[in-house]
Amino acid sequence: MLAKLFGIALLVVGGFVAFCLLMALVGTIFSILIFALKVAIPVVLVYLGYRLITRDRHQVTY
Protein backbone atom coordinates (compact mmCIF):
# COMPACT_ATOMS: atom_id res chain seq x y z
CA MET A 1 0.00 0.00 0.00
CA LEU A 2 2.81 2.38 0.89
CA ALA A 3 4.60 1.58 -2.37
CA LYS A 4 1.48 2.51 -4.35
CA LEU A 5 1.20 5.85 -2.55
CA PHE A 6 4.90 6.48 -3.16
CA GLY A 7 4.40 5.60 -6.85
CA ILE A 8 1.48 8.02 -7.14
CA ALA A 9 3.55 10.74 -5.48
CA LEU A 10 6.40 10.11 -7.92
CA LEU A 11 3.97 10.29 -10.86
CA VAL A 12 2.62 13.62 -9.63
CA VAL A 13 6.07 15.08 -9.03
CA GLY A 14 7.37 13.79 -12.38
CA GLY A 15 4.35 15.20 -14.20
CA PHE A 16 4.83 18.57 -12.52
CA VAL A 17 8.53 18.66 -13.45
CA ALA A 18 7.71 17.68 -17.04
CA PHE A 19 5.06 20.41 -17.21
CA CYS A 20 7.52 23.00 -15.90
CA LEU A 21 10.12 21.96 -18.48
CA LEU A 22 7.52 22.11 -21.24
CA MET A 23 6.46 25.61 -20.21
CA ALA A 24 10.11 26.71 -20.14
CA LEU A 25 10.56 25.31 -23.66
CA VAL A 26 7.45 27.12 -24.92
CA GLY A 27 8.70 30.33 -23.29
CA THR A 28 12.07 29.93 -24.96
CA ILE A 29 10.50 29.39 -28.38
CA PHE A 30 8.27 32.43 -27.85
CA SER A 31 11.25 34.59 -26.85
CA ILE A 32 13.20 33.43 -29.93
CA LEU A 33 10.25 34.43 -32.14
CA ILE A 34 10.07 37.85 -30.47
CA PHE A 35 13.82 38.29 -31.00
CA ALA A 36 13.48 37.36 -34.68
CA LEU A 37 10.69 39.91 -35.05
CA LYS A 38 12.80 42.60 -33.38
CA VAL A 39 15.66 41.84 -35.78
CA ALA A 40 13.42 41.63 -38.86
CA ILE A 41 11.85 45.08 -38.40
CA PRO A 42 15.10 47.09 -38.76
CA VAL A 43 16.24 44.87 -41.64
CA VAL A 44 13.00 45.52 -43.51
CA LEU A 45 13.21 49.25 -42.80
CA VAL A 46 16.79 49.44 -44.08
CA TYR A 47 15.84 47.47 -47.19
CA LEU A 48 12.87 49.73 -47.90
CA GLY A 49 15.01 52.83 -47.40
CA TYR A 50 17.64 51.49 -49.77
CA ARG A 51 14.99 50.65 -52.38
CA LEU A 52 13.53 54.16 -52.11
CA ILE A 53 16.96 55.77 -52.49
CA THR A 54 18.03 53.66 -55.48
CA ARG A 55 14.62 53.43 -57.14
CA ASP A 56 15.39 55.73 -60.10
CA ARG A 57 18.86 54.36 -60.90
CA HIS A 58 17.75 50.96 -62.13
CA GLN A 59 14.95 51.81 -64.55
CA VAL A 60 15.01 49.57 -67.57
CA THR A 61 13.20 50.76 -70.69
CA TYR A 62 12.08 48.27 -73.30
First-residue to last-residue Cα distance in the chain: 89
- How far is residue 26 CA from its own chain's centroid? 8
Residue 56's pLDDT band (boundaries 50, 70, 90)? confident
Which has more pLDDT, 61 or 11? Answer: 11
Q: Is the pLDDT of residue 57 over 80?
A: no
* Domain boundaries of the chain, sorted by first residue: 1-62
The rounded percent of the chain whose pLDDT value lies above 90 is 77
**Mean pLDDT over residues 18-46, rounded?**
95
User: pTM of the entire structure?
Assistant: 0.61
